[in-house]
């Protein structure tokens, strides 16, 4: 494996022996193998570790393990403690995304401060396949399906062509110490389900699947790189203004790369790729359409596509006005809701909230729930604290953080994705309904 490592490093950094490296090390199998590989070289490197304080004593155990290891070998190392949960809540993003942003921001700061030429991560071939399937399930474009790049700016991944089984064997052969994240064994995370079930089954049904799939992903990556260059060259032709961004959508629609250009913009401003078909239809429509996500919004109207910040106050609220259009889409954390105006019955479930439009006081306010919030659950005559309601639903702490409410006047009309208030329930059809449909 040492030979494969050197071959990969030379391919990524031709003058590798004259560079200074910062290794991202969690203490797990992959990163400890990466650290040991560097220890068997004459290269100049240091170690960086992030403690996100997400797993209590386990997180502290990981930090202490790596600190003691580095001290034992007189390795220069850096440790950062951060509250990933608080960061996720502040930015209205998932815990995983928060940890990723914190991690790479910290590494970039260290690199700049201490003169590291490259940041090195321990992603391996199995990570590539796992990310491919995760992105496939999220309707990703060619960029997402090309998975993890071996080099991205000053970030390099020299183990990307090495399967996890080979890394495990290297650890065993060299009797290396490592720590195991207990969450890796849980199937509640999509990546773990893919790792534990999908990939072994694919290899069993189609022997050699992993190797063949990685070759296909490499082809996708090459195509994606060329496509990105083409898109970057074409996009300036359609920009009317830069700040806020305004695009001539009529001219854009005539471009044979229109969908690729749209996807580039959607991903650049951190909108989910899944909205591409809806934005595409919006461009062809005469009606105004709105899309919201990550404190940004897309407005499509009168042959102009705008991308600009949401009008949100310090409490992170935004407004739904009475002139809502059917199929307007709003993204909140890792879910979105779609507006459906209706006068008839529909198939209701907890992901579809049907409110009596005549009882609503516009504009409605969408905001995260707060301590002290109360509402009247469907079928009840009295008020209930939302904190108690969420406890009864058995949501975990992370899921509770991602709950939003719909406020009409001074009353909470609904807990998005969970339940509407009795005060705003429809009891007689065909009363006009405002339907908020939640999708993951």
Residues paired with 406 in a beta bridge: 366, 414
65, with CB counted inside 10 A (0-12, 13-18, 19+), is middle
In this prediction, residue 187 has a pLDDT band, given cuts at 50, 70 and 90, of confident
C-alpha 320/C-alpha 419 separation (Å) is 18
What CATH code is carried by the domain that includes residue 28?
3.40.50.620
pLDDT of res. 272: 78
More confident residue, 297 or 217: 217
pLDDT at 312 over 50: no
Asked, for residue 151, whether it belongs to a domain, the answer is yes
- 193 and 207 both lie in a single domain: yes
Last residue of a domain, one of 291, 310, 329: 310
- Nearest CA-CA partner of 65 in 100, 29, 95: 29
User: For 44-55, what is each residue's pLDDT tens digit?
Assistant: 999 999 999 988
C-alpha 60/C-alpha 54 separation (Å) is 10
- 404 and 269 both lie in a single domain: no
User: For 325-348, what is each residue's pLDDT tens digit?
Assistant: 555 555 554 444 555 554 445 445
pLDDT of res. 328: 54
More confident residue, 122 or 380: 122
Q: Is 249 left (phi over 0), alpha (psi -120 to 50) or beta?
A: alpha
CA 419 to chain centre: 26
pLDDT of res. 114: 96
More confident residue, 87 or 295: 87
3-class SS letters over 262-297: HHHHHHHCCCCHHHHHHHHHHHHCCCCEEEEECCEE
Residues of the chain with pLDDT > 70: what percent? 87
- Split into its structural domains, the chain has a count of 3
- Nearest CA-CA partner of 401 in 86, 136, 181, 52: 86
User: For 79-95, what is each residue's pLDDT tens digit?
Assistant: 999 999 888 888 777 78
Q: Which domain holds residue 279?
A: 242-310
- 291 and 402 both lie in a single domain: no
pLDDT of res. 198: 95
3-class SS letters over 115-128: CCCEEECCCCHHHH
> 217: which residues sit within 8 A by CB, 6+ positions away?
128, 129, 132, 145, 146, 147
Asked, for residue 235, whether it belongs to a domain, the answer is no
Last residue of a domain, one of 162, 197, 225: 225
Asked, for residue 133, whether it belongs to a domain, the answer is yes
Rounded mean pLDDT, 361-374: 85
Residues paired with 10 in a beta bridge: none
Identify the helix (H) or strand (E) that includes residue 215: helix 209-234
- 253 and 270 both lie in a single domain: yes
pLDDT of res. 233: 92
Residues paired with 156 in a beta bridge: 120, 151
- 72 and 122 both lie in a single domain: yes
- 216 and 163 both lie in a single domain: yes
266, with CB counted inside 10 A (0-12, 13-18, 19+), is buried
| DSSP class of 236 | G
- Nearest CA-CA partner of 85 in 401, 404, 367: 401
In this prediction, residue 116 has a pLDDT band, given cuts at 50, 70 and 90, of very high
pLDDT of res. 333: 44
Asked, for residue 148, whether it belongs to a domain, the answer is yes
Tell me the average pLDDT of the chain. Answer: 86
What are residue 349's phi and psi, to 5 degrees? -150, 180
- 147 and 55 both lie in a single domain: yes
22 to each of 12, 118, 162, 383, how far by Cα in Å? 15, 6, 20, 55
- 189 and 279 both lie in a single domain: no
Residues paired with 412 in a beta bridge: 407
In this prediction, residue 111 has a pLDDT band, given cuts at 50, 70 and 90, of very high
Rounded mean pLDDT, 103-110: 96
pLDDT at 206 over 50: yes
The residue to which tokens 């705008």 are assigned: 306
Asked, for residue 231, whether it belongs to a domain, the answer is no
pLDDT of res. 190: 86
Which is it for the CA torsion 299, 400, 103, 194, positive or negative? Answer: negative
64 to each of 52, 59, 102, 103, 176, how far by Cα in Å? 14, 9, 20, 18, 16
Asked, for residue 234, whether it belongs to a domain, the answer is no
User: For 6-39, what is each residue's pLDDT tens digit?
Assistant: 999 999 999 999 999 999 999 999 999 999 999 9
- 292 and 324 both lie in a single domain: no
- 316 and 292 both lie in a single domain: no
Rounded mean pLDDT, 127-156: 89
What CATH code is carried by the domain that includes residue 262?
3.30.465
- 304 and 359 both lie in a single domain: no
pLDDT of res. 371: 81
User: For 92-102, what is each residue's pLDDT tens digit?
Assistant: 777 888 899 99
- 352 and 286 both lie in a single domain: no
Asked, for residue 230, whether it belongs to a domain, the answer is no
pLDDT of res. 121: 97
Residues of the chain with pLDDT > 90: what percent? 50
Last residue of a domain, one of 263, 293, 310: 310
pLDDT of res. 139: 76
User: For 218-275, what is each residue's pLDDT tens digit?
Assistant: 999 999 889 889 998 999 999 999 888 999 999 999 999 999 999 889 888 888 777 8
What CATH code is carried by the domain that includes residue 373?
3.50.40.10
């Amino acid at each position: 494996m040492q030979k494969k490592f050197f071959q990969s490093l030379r391919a990524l950094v031709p003058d590798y022996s004259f560079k200074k490296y910062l290794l991202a090390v969690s203490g797990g199998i992959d990163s400890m193998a990466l650290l040991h590989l560097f220890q068997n070289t004459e290269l100049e490197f240091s170690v960086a570790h992030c403690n996100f304080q997400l797993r209590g004593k386990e997180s502290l155990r990981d930090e202490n393990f790596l600190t003691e290891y580095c001290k034992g070998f007189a390795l220069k190392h850096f440790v950062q403690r951060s509250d990933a949960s608080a960061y996720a809540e502040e930015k209205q993003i998932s815990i995983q995304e928060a940890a990723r942003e914190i991690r790479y921001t910290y590494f970039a700061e260290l690199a700049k401060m201490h003169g590291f030429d490259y940041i090195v991560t321990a992603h391996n071939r199995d990570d590539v396949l796992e990310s491919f399937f995760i992105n496939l399930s999220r309707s990703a474009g060619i960029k997402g399906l090309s998975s993890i790049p071996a080099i991205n700016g000053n970030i390099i991944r020299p183990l990307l062509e090495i399967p996890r089984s080979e890394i495990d064997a290297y650890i065993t052969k060299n009797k290396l110490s490592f720590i195991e994240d207990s969450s890796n064994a849980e199937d509640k995370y999509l990546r773990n389900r893919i790792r534990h079930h999908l990939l072994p089954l694919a290899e069993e049904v189609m022997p050699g699947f992993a190797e063949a799939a990685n070759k296909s992903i490499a082809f996708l990556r090459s195509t994606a790189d060329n496509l990105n260059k083409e898109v970057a060259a074409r996009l300036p032709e359609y920009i009317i203004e830069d700040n806020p961004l305004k695009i001539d959508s009529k001219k854009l629609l005539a471009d044979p790369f229109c969908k690729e250009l749209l996807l580039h913009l959607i991903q650049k401003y951190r909108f989910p790729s899944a909205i591409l078909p809806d934005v595409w239809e919006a461009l062809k429509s005469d009606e105004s359409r709105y899309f919201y996500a990550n404190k940004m919004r897309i407005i499509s109207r009168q042959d102009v596509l705008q991308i600009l910040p949401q009008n949100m106050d310090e409490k992170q609220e935004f407004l739904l006005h009475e002139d809502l259009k059917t199929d307007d889409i709003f993204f909140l954390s890792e879910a979105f809701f779609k507006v459906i105006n209706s006068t008839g019955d529909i198939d209701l479930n907890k992901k579809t909230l049907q409110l009596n439009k005549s009882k609503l006081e516009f504009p409605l306010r969408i905001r995260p729930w707060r301590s002290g919030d109360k509402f009247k659950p469907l079928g009840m005559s009295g008020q209930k604290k939302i904190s108690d309601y969420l406890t009864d639903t058995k949501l975990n702490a992370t899921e509770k953080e991602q709950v939003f409410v719909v406020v009409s006047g001074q009353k909470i009309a609904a807990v998005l994705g969970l339940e509407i208030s009795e005060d705003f329930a429809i009891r007689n059809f065909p009363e006009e309904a405002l339907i908020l449909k939640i999708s993951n």
